[in-house]
């Protein structure tokens, strides 16, 4: 056999094999993706983030004297923890000067898993208290660093 004949035979074999695979549905590729899909968390883009927004408290005085002006600092921290070592839960901690009202917008990030987004605080959180936001993360190690900021 000459080189041209060998090359032609090889080309014909490749053509037949590829045509057979294409007509049979092709090669099956196994998709190894995440175990569970990430939830669709809406991201609210409202401009720059103020990490410590404040709410002025103006008490009502019946004698029409000017009210003293006090500023309240709202601030949050976060934690990723579970006694089993791996968790899907995100803990939000109120470290500000006043209760965090329900509906407050919080931006979060857990760099080790790539989880990030925003959510609304479901209920009031008193100063020093914390709440668990269940199933927000995807297999984060307990103690993983996290970031939480209030959206003004």
Q: Where are the beta strands (DSSP E) in 49-129?
A: 54-57, 70-73, 76-79, 86-87, 90-94, 105-110, 115-120
Over its length of 152 residues, how does the chain's per-residue pLDDT go in tens digits? 688 788 888 888 877 776 665 566 655 656 666 666 666 666 666 666 666 666 666 555 555 555 555 677 888 999 999 888 898 899 999 999 889 999 999 999 999 999 999 999 999 999 999 999 988 888 899 999 999 999 87
Q: CA–CA separation, 93 vs 95, rounded Å?
A: 6
* Domain encompassing residue 23: 1-28
Q: Is residue 47 part of a domain?
A: no
Residue 5 lies in a domain: yes
In a domain, 43, yes or no: no
Q: What is the pLDDT of residues 10-25, one digit of tens each?
A: 888 877 776 665 566 6
In a domain, 40, yes or no: no
Domain total of the chain: 2
Integer CA distances (angstroms), 74 to 18, 93, 146, in order: 64, 11, 18
Do 72 and 141 have their domain in common?
yes
Residues 19 and 93 in one domain: no
The answer to whether 29 touches 136, Cβ cutoff 8 Å, is: no
121 lies in the same domain as 72? yes
Q: Model's pTM, two decimal places?
A: 0.54
Same domain, 65 and 106: yes
């Amino acid at each position: 056999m000459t080189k041209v004949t060998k090359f032609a035979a090889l080309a014909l074999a490749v053509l037949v094999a590829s045509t057979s695979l294409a007509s049979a549905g092709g090669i099956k590729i196994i998709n190894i993706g995440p175990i569970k899909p990430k939830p669709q968390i809406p991201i609210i883009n409202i401009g720059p983030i103020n990490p410590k927004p404040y709410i002025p408290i103006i008490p009502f005085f019946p004698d029409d004297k000017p009210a003293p002006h006090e500023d309240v600092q709202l601030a949050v921290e976060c934690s990723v923890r579970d006694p089993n070592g791996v968790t899907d839960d995100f803990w939000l901690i109120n470290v500000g000067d006043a209760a965090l009202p329900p509906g407050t917008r919080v931006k979060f990030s857990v760099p080790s898993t790539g989880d990030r987004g925003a959510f609304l605080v479901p209920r009031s959180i008193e100063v020093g208290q914390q709440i668990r936001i269940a199933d927000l993360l995807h297999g984060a190690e307990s103690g993983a660093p996290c970031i939480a900021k209030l959206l003004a």
